Structure 1
Amino acid sequence: MKTDFKFSNLLGSVYRKGNLIYTDDGTCLLSPVGNRVTVFDLINNKSHTLPFAHRTNVARIALHPRGQLLLTIDEGGQAILSHFQRRIVLYRFSLRDKENRSISALAFSPSGTHFAVAIGRKIEVWRTPSTPGSHESAENEDEDGGLEFAPFVRYRQYVSHYDSVQSIEWSSDSRFFLSASKDLTARIWSLDPEEGFTPTTLAGHRTAVYAAWFSNDQETIWTISKDGALFRWQYLPPPDVDLEMVTEDDERWRISERHYFFQDQANLTTAAFHAPSNLLVTGFSNGLFMLHELPSFSEIHKLSISASKIDTVSINKSGEWLAFGSSALGQLLVWEWQSESYILKQQGHFDSLNALTYSPSGDRVITCADDGKIKVWDTASGFCIVTFTEHTSGVTACEFARRGNVLFTASLDGSVRAFDLIRYRCFRTFTAPKRLSFSSIAVDPAGDVVAAGSLDDFDIHIWSVQTGQLLDQLSGHEGPVASLAFAPNGSSLVSGSWDRTVRIWSVFARTQTSEPLQLQADVLCVAVRPDSRQIAVSTLDGQLTFWSMSEGTQEGGTDGRRDVSGGRKVSDRRTAANVAGTKNFNTITYSADGSVVLAGGNSKYICLYAVETAVLLHKYTVSVNLSLEGTQEFLNSRLLTEAGPQALPDEVGENSDLEDRLDKSLPGSKRGDAAQRKTAPAVRVPGVAFSPTGRAFCAASTEGLLIYSVDSGVQFDPFDLDVDVTPESTLKTLAQRQWLKALVMAFRLNHPKLITRVYRAVPTSDIGLVVRDLPRVYLDRLLRHVAKEVDTSPHMELNFLWLESLLRQHGSVLKEKPGEFAEVVRMVQRAVGRIQGEVMRVADGNARTVDYFLGQPRVGGTGLQQKKLTDGHSTNDAEIGDEDEDEEMVGGADEWVGLE
């Protein structure tokens, strides 16, 4: 199978911290998620994560007005300028100053030539680097069209504030900008020296000024502070002065109106202003947001959307959609205020993930976490489609039944629950005779029996799914049961325990016997190969061993301590190679064909091993985010202070003594001390799972649900191209009626519109010949294209002719290599199933219509004659003759209606 997996998407987390921004057309929303940026397509209901990653969490993001350049800055001041459409990194630059102050505001000018960034109390304006390949950069580039040597050039620096700047807002003509600061003032700056203009300070607030904006005509300035005070500033003469005596020199920016938000025990945390519609949106620390129309300050809406504070709000260009982000619970909402409806409402797990599993169809991923929630994620769109909250404590394990849409979960609340994923409800709850915290689960392939193990008890509990009754308690282990797995053929149950044994139970035999396999250390995880012939076992000493299930002998093994050894924590005094506790695998899983094993643990690495040779094939780095514990390899002596490592003291805490702000959590504790104000989560991988198709795998990590897939979108192969393959030559070949050659040339160029044009131009009589001679290397791509055409285009008969010919002539290849073509076959099945459902609905509707017409009462001649009499017609002979003809016609119609 292919093993060149690459990062594809990040699910399980929709917002962490920072600001939200819309694209210029307002259809996409950009949200910072840890050290990455996720793009939510609000029209097509899809999401994707940009491939590049920062070294720390992203603090600020800004999009160029033309939509090409995306500037992201992390907490350490490192900036990445990327091409938004191509998703590639153009430049990396450091905006960090000597005092290492954080970035608090970032904004591009409306003209796009400059951007302003707030570093502490200082504001810096930089020239925007040119975009490679654009018309603007042609004059600055050399003949080869390369990148600029020094793209970031600082244009001007502004230092007048006495505290951190919280907001920067440009004027519409890009000549001026406003800054709001914690020093209770807002200031007006000019980009270039203006005649008669002097920098102006707007003072009058009693608390920190959060934001300042220009009105649409730039004649008014609005400022808002933390205590909910909104001031309107206008260029006015002094009060109580005779207007005839006022000169232009006496006019200044003065407060003309004052408005206040009265919120008990709540502070303003975020605000946004849409100048064209004069719409003001404010968010507060109690989860409430309000909409006001300015300058009348009339309240439009008032709604509570979160249990915690709202961190950021953004308005799209048209002013219709409002985006809210709450970092405490990881919530992201897009609200259309005119219709009062949600466009997007997503929330990730606000606690660490524990386990995950794929659905049998491969289009769903189920995650469970310590917050007691179970979420179902759609792999195609990247959105959470349902959340189950029946458990009252952390959910530790989840498993799918191979038949049917039934999900089983185990929790620390002492229950095992079964969920129906068609009706989205919990239909069965399994409990033990005594209070236990279940940590592992296994489901019979037939879906008749569910087994669960606990770290509090040494027995394995088995229930009947149909009745919910406890069938048996398997005794034999002398330590807590850490992992359970049923053989795919349903013959045996495999359990691993801390007593250094793995037992194979014959659950369905008349005598329930168990065969123990002795190991050298505590067992952490077991997995059974899909052919039910082999068991993979991970132990506490970092060993990964493979055992024969039928003979009970060891077939191979490898030492994974050096492979899985992750980074060091801030408080560790050793390097990553000498840190204990990270040198073992807590989770392992087989691929769909059983040729490779994927393993992860309490480190930043995921290891892929070949089963036959026990050789490490690939090592995937989960995260490079230095904001997490366990990502650094070596001790950085520059970060050491007299009080210890620089990250340990809480510099923003309320305690005055340094000793009171130090982290005094117990060694080995994962979650830290809940009483401390500053805790950093440690990077770890509690669960991994392969998709049923084998084309992707997902990993539950501290940052969320990471999806790695074989990149089917690699569209360029230089070995297939030559100078003769161009769009013009392809169209010329198509005009010459060389269908197969034109189709292959279009696939080599991989131009979607060109492929569709050639595909639809092939006559129906020649489809069979084209498919028969199609090179096998293009079979996957043609099937994928046909599946997309079936799903999107109205040419139903043409698409099904292609599909029938492909399956008829290449069906044996699809059957021989199910792992290679499983994904595209599932795409075809979904598309055909959707068309089938639509055709059946139309057929049912037509059948009911025909039944309705056939069930109508017969129309007699007396009725027609009575109708004519009531209409006032005379009954002469001609009319009577006509009536006879009508009666004959009606009688014929009656005879025709009666035929069934």
Structure 2
Amino acid sequence: MKTDFQFSNLLGTVYSRGNLLFTPDGTCLLSPVGNRVSIFDLVNSKSYTLPFAHRKNIARLALNPRGNLLLSVDEDGRAILTNVPRRIVLYHFSFRDNVSALAFAPSGRHFAAAVGRKIEVWHTPSTPDVADGDLEFAPFVRHRMYTGHFDTVRSLEWSSDSRFFLSASKDMTARIWSMDPEEGFVPTTLGGHKLAVVGAWFSKDQETIYTVSKDGALFIWKYMLRYDVPEDAEENDENMQWGIADRHYFHQNQANLTCAAFHPDSNLLVTGFSHGVFMIHELPDFSQIQTLSISQNDIDHVVINKTGEWLAFGASKLGQLLVWEWQSESYVLKQQGHFDSLNSITYSPDGQRIITAADDGKIKVWDVTSGFCIVTFTEHISGVTACEFAKRGNVLFTASLDGSVRAWDLIRYRNFRTFTAPSRLSFSSLAVDPSGEVVAAGSIDSFDIHIWSVQTGQLLDRLSGHEGPVSSLAFAPDGSTLVSGSWDRTVRLWSIFARTQTSEPLQLMADVLAVAFRPDSKQIAVTTLDGQLTFWSVSDATQQSGVDARRDVSGGRKLSDRRTAANVAGTKSFTTVQYSADGSCVLAGGNSKYICLYDVVSGVLVKKFTVSVNLSLDGTQEFLNSKLLTEAGPKGLLDEQGEASDREDRIDTSLPGAQRGEGARKTRPAVRVPGVAFSPTGRSFCAASTEGLLVYSLDTGVMFDPFDLDVSVTPASTLETLKRCEYLKALVMAFRLNDRGLVRAVYQAIPIGDVGLVAREVPRVYLARLLRFVAVQADESPHVEFNLRWIEALLTWHGRWMRENRGGLEAEVRSVEKVVRRLQGEIVRVAEENVYRVEWICGMKREGKERERLAIEFGGRREEEERDEVMVDGEEEGSEGEGDGEWMGFE
């Protein structure tokens, strides 16, 4: 089994905090998710996560005008410069303090960063793909520093010519700055607001400035005569100043304005408020276009794409991300992650979907290929503790603390069956029979195992025998045995389908936390509270091997710990375990930052995966920093909420001691892995963590095409390559040129004997286009066998990859299937229409063969007869001659 799994994607969370960004073409949205950045392709409906990770949560993002450089800054001011198309990190840099605003100049040569109340302008680092493109030794060079604000700067906006920029601050003022000293220009302060200024923008002609403040006031500034100058005075720089030309107010019933964005080309102003409402106004008339409520909590950030058609909103409290098309009044993207801790995950039988269950009572179905949530179930009224798929059919089962087990139809997306116990119980574990006819659940309140019939919904039996809460359940893949693990330090094997229900207890040394069956149903893996991972034979009920995993799983130190990470007791055991698809390895995780992959036979630790390096979470650091220790305790544990400058930030709505639910404190959640699951294909696995759903895959990495950088690809060079019989290279070059006639010429010139080799080696970046082209050729050209050979070769060599990535190839595969069905139908129809003709031809062929055989046979007889005649004639002539001679001699 291959074990080189790499981080592939982050699901389950779509927005955490910080600002959103649109790419320059307006088709992709960049969202900060914890200490990572996710990119949502709004046109192709796909999402992926960049492979780098910050040491703390990301606070600000900025993208250069070309869209190839991404600058991300975390809460401590540490920045990472990334090449977005290649997904590689270029530089690391530290601003040494929290960055509250970040913006690239339209020219792309500079960017401005607000570091507290100071503003710093830096030169944009050069990269190898620009004109003067060598990497610099000191890539970050500061151009100038600007001071003048008395509080944190919240917004930075550049003018279209990159000569000036505006800053908005919490000190209730906005300021105009010039990047370089300008003759006659003096930095100007725009004051008059009564609360913090949220944003300030130039109009398209740069003759007007708009500022909005937290109390919902909009000021329109123009360059006009000073109030102490007569109206008939000369309009020169000495008599002119920026002044308020008009005032407008948003009346939203005590709600504060939390974010705003302005689009200069269309004069659209979009504002978001603390009660989840956003408004669209057209300036300078302040005419209201739309008002819509999209959330129940604060809208943290809003951004407009380049064309002004799409608006993106982020709400951090519930993890909501929305993209709204205001002209058609429709959602382009509407996603929300779990706002509480994940509890359980499972793969669908085809491996194309992942189901997550969380403490917020929601069940979400995520598409692996696109990375989007396709459906959310909210029928449970309490935390969902377990979820599992039936092996047959699209049926999902979930168990909840609300005392119910529910069955979901994933074709019609509905809850078609609900199972309850005679008394109110909180179910914590779940197991489903492979046939999908029986479901079993265990509770932390009762020591019995409840079994229901899926068809009738009736309670069939209650299995008694455990003396403690049932922590884990699992059915054997062959359906013969049910295994249960309990806090009474026993594992029991139940034969529930036998005529006499019996249970075989297995005694362990500590409380059982999780059990799992091997795919061949011959072995179970058991994890216990003392950190042991043991493997037991099902047929003999004996222990086969064991692993002491305390040293492997322990890691990560909380701020309140007085011991080292290796000696913390709470992280020394696995709480979840899962076999791989072939049963050769097990994957285990617990209340630490590590996931361990073990070999079953040898018990060797094959690989250890680090879930998170985010220091904003508790339990990720190995050593405590003595600088952060104060007389009152660790600095991170001090409650500074009451000292916040804003009144709403000072209000503490958390409940003391609450670990889950809406009243729990969200400041420093502890890192943990409550669930792991292997894909049925064995090519990937996923892990539920505090940050979201992490997907690790063997098929990672960007599909890089070397021809993207080759300027010598021309039709003439493609034909020359074809003449040299380099068929694969010629085909790829033709695809790069996107010339249909050239592609057809190269395609038809490939010998039929080389089709399999070319199809096997074709880069996967061109696989979709090649499938589409072959489907069109099979539909149009008369070369039926040639096209079918291509289809057969592509499906043979790339079939598994197509199945795993069928979300992006559905249209192409469907077109190929349609063509094959049409060809099959046509061949059958032609054969049926010409069956008598074919029989006549075959009969004529048989008759011709018979005639030929007869002719050959008849011809052979004639030759023999002629030969005999010749022989007879020769004998007669010879006898006459001899007689004559003898007679002559006698005479």
Closer/same/farther in 2, CA of residues 713 and 626 from structure 1, 3 Å limit:
closer
Partners in 1 of 2:787 and 2:345 — Cα distance? 35
Cα shift readout 1:636-684 (whole Å, capped 9, x = no counterpart): 111111211111112232599xxx99x9976xx85599476x6311111
Q: Does 1:278 align with 2:260?
A: no
Closer/same/farther in 2, CA of residues 635 and 302 from structure 1, 3 Å limit:
same
Contact 2:438/2:453 (<8 A) preserved: yes
- State which drifts further: 249-258 or 407-416: 249-258
Partners in 1 of 2:279 and 2:500 — Cα distance? 68
Map 1:469-618; keep pairs closer than 5 Å.
Answer: 469-618=458-607
Q: Secondary structure at the match of 2:641?
A: coil
Contact 1:36/1:53 (<8 A) preserved: yes
Partners in 2 of 1:616 and 1:730 — Cα distance? 52
Which residue does 2:849 correspond to in 1? none
Which residue does 2:107 correspond to in 1? 111
Cα shift readout 1:740-794 (whole Å, capped 9, x = no counterpart): x6338989x999779999996666797652256x49xx84868996566436864
Which residue does 1:184 correspond to in 2? 172
Contact 2:37/2:49 (<8 A) preserved: yes
Amino acid at match of 1:707: V
Which residue does 1:735 correspond to in 2? 722
Partners in 2 of 1:637 and 1:822 — Cα distance? 53
Q: Secondary structure at the match of 1:161?
A: coil
Which residue does 1:128 correspond to in 2? 124
Cα shift readout 1:156-199 (whole Å, capped 9, x = no counterpart): 11111111111111111111111111111111111111111111
Partners in 2 of 1:757 and 1:446 — Cα distance? 53
Partners in 1 of 2:606 and 2:799 — Cα distance? 22
Partners in 1 of 2:610 and 2:751 — Cα distance? 46
Which residue does 1:72 correspond to in 2? 72
Contact 1:746/1:754 (<8 A) preserved: no
Closer/same/farther in 2, CA of residues 752 and 592 from structure 1, 3 Å limit:
farther
- State which drifts further: 106-115 or 761-770: 761-770
Map 1:115-514; keep pairs closer than 5 Å.
Answer: 115-135=111-131, 137-138=132-133, 141=134, 147-239=135-227, 242-246=230-234, 248=236, 249-514=238-503
Contact 1:783/1:824 (<8 A) preserved: no
Q: Normalized against structure 2, the TM-score is what? A: 0.85
Partners in 1 of 2:571 and 2:734 — Cα distance? 45
Aligned residues: 809
Amino acid at match of 2:112: A
Closer/same/farther in 2, CA of residues 791 and 549 from structure 1, 3 Å limit:
farther
Which residue does 1:897 correspond to in 2? none
- Deviation, 1:84, is 1.2
Contact 2:687/2:694 (<8 A) preserved: yes
Amino acid at match of 2:505: P
Contact 2:177/2:188 (<8 A) preserved: yes
Contact 1:234/1:256 (<8 A) preserved: yes
Contact 2:727/2:746 (<8 A) preserved: no
Contact 1:403/1:446 (<8 A) preserved: yes
Map 1:840-859; keep pairs closer than 5 Å.
Answer: none
Q: Does 1:683 align with 2:671?
A: yes
Match of 2:683 among 671, 695, 718: 695
- Deviation, 1:838, is 5.5
Amino acid at match of 1:227: D
Partners in 2 of 1:408 and 1:544 — Cα distance? 27
Partners in 2 of 1:495 and 1:487 — Cα distance? 11
Partners in 2 of 1:498 and 1:179 — Cα distance? 60
Partners in 2 of 1:764 and 1:245 — Cα distance? 81
Note the residue ranges of structure 1 that are not aligned, 5 or more in a row.
142-146, 815-819, 847-900
Contact 2:101/2:114 (<8 A) preserved: yes
CA radius of gyration, larger in: 2
Partners in 1 of 2:125 and 2:5 — Cα distance? 33
- Deviation, 1:736, is 3.1
Partners in 2 of 1:593 and 1:780 — Cα distance? 28
Contact 1:786/1:803 (<8 A) preserved: no
- Deviation, 1:515, is 0.9
Contact 1:441/1:450 (<8 A) preserved: yes
Closer/same/farther in 2, CA of residues 170 and 785 from structure 1, 3 Å limit:
closer
Closer/same/farther in 2, CA of residues 492 and 308 from structure 1, 3 Å limit:
same
Partners in 1 of 2:592 and 2:734 — Cα distance? 39
Cα shift readout 1:438-475 (whole Å, capped 9, x = no counterpart): 01111111110001111111111000000000000011
Closer/same/farther in 2, CA of residues 547 and 48 from structure 1, 3 Å limit:
same
Cα shift readout 1:314-361 (whole Å, capped 9, x = no counterpart): 000111100000001100000011111110000000111000111111
Contact 2:523/2:538 (<8 A) preserved: yes
Partners in 1 of 2:740 and 2:58 — Cα distance? 40
- Deviation, 1:300, is 0.5
Closer/same/farther in 2, CA of residues 809 and 641 from structure 1, 3 Å limit:
closer
Q: Normalized against structure 1, the TM-score is what? A: 0.84
Closer/same/farther in 2, CA of residues 193 and 826 from structure 1, 3 Å limit:
closer
Contact 2:778/2:819 (<8 A) preserved: no
Note the residue ranges of structure 2 that are not aligned, 5 or more in a row.
646-650, 827-891
Q: Secondary structure at the match of 2:753?
A: helix
- Deviation, 1:29, is 0.6
Contact 1:780/1:821 (<8 A) preserved: no
- Deviation, 1:501, is 1.0
Partners in 2 of 1:292 and 1:793 — Cα distance? 50
Amino acid at match of 2:672: R
Partners in 1 of 2:89 and 2:223 — Cα distance? 44
RMSD of Structure 2 on Structure 1 (CA): 3.4
Contact 2:81/2:92 (<8 A) preserved: yes
Cα shift readout 1:390-432 (whole Å, capped 9, x = no counterpart): 1010000000011000000000000000000000000000000
Partners in 1 of 2:549 and 2:744 — Cα distance? 53
Partners in 1 of 2:575 and 2:304 — Cα distance? 44
Closer/same/farther in 2, CA of residues 219 and 88 from structure 1, 3 Å limit:
same
Partners in 1 of 2:705 and 2:501 — Cα distance? 57
Which residue does 2:754 correspond to in 1? 770
Match of 2:814 among 834, 851, 859: 834
Q: Secondary structure at the match of 2:571?
A: coil
Amino acid at match of 1:111: S
- Deviation, 1:805, is 4.4
Q: Secondary structure at the match of 1:453?
A: strand
Closer/same/farther in 2, CA of residues 381 and 690 from structure 1, 3 Å limit:
same
Partners in 2 of 1:417 and 1:485 — Cα distance? 17
Closer/same/farther in 2, CA of residues 808 and 283 from structure 1, 3 Å limit:
closer
Contact 1:309/1:328 (<8 A) preserved: yes
Partners in 1 of 2:263 and 2:702 — Cα distance? 41
Partners in 1 of 2:31 and 2:644 — Cα distance? 34
Partners in 2 of 1:750 and 1:556 — Cα distance? 58
Which residue does 1:3 correspond to in 2? 3
Q: Secondary structure at the match of 2:456?
A: coil
Contact 1:399/1:441 (<8 A) preserved: yes
Amino acid at match of 2:612: S
Match of 1:797 among 763, 773, 778: 778
Closer/same/farther in 2, CA of residues 838 and 746 from structure 1, 3 Å limit:
closer
Partners in 2 of 1:227 and 1:381 — Cα distance? 40
Amino acid at match of 1:795: V
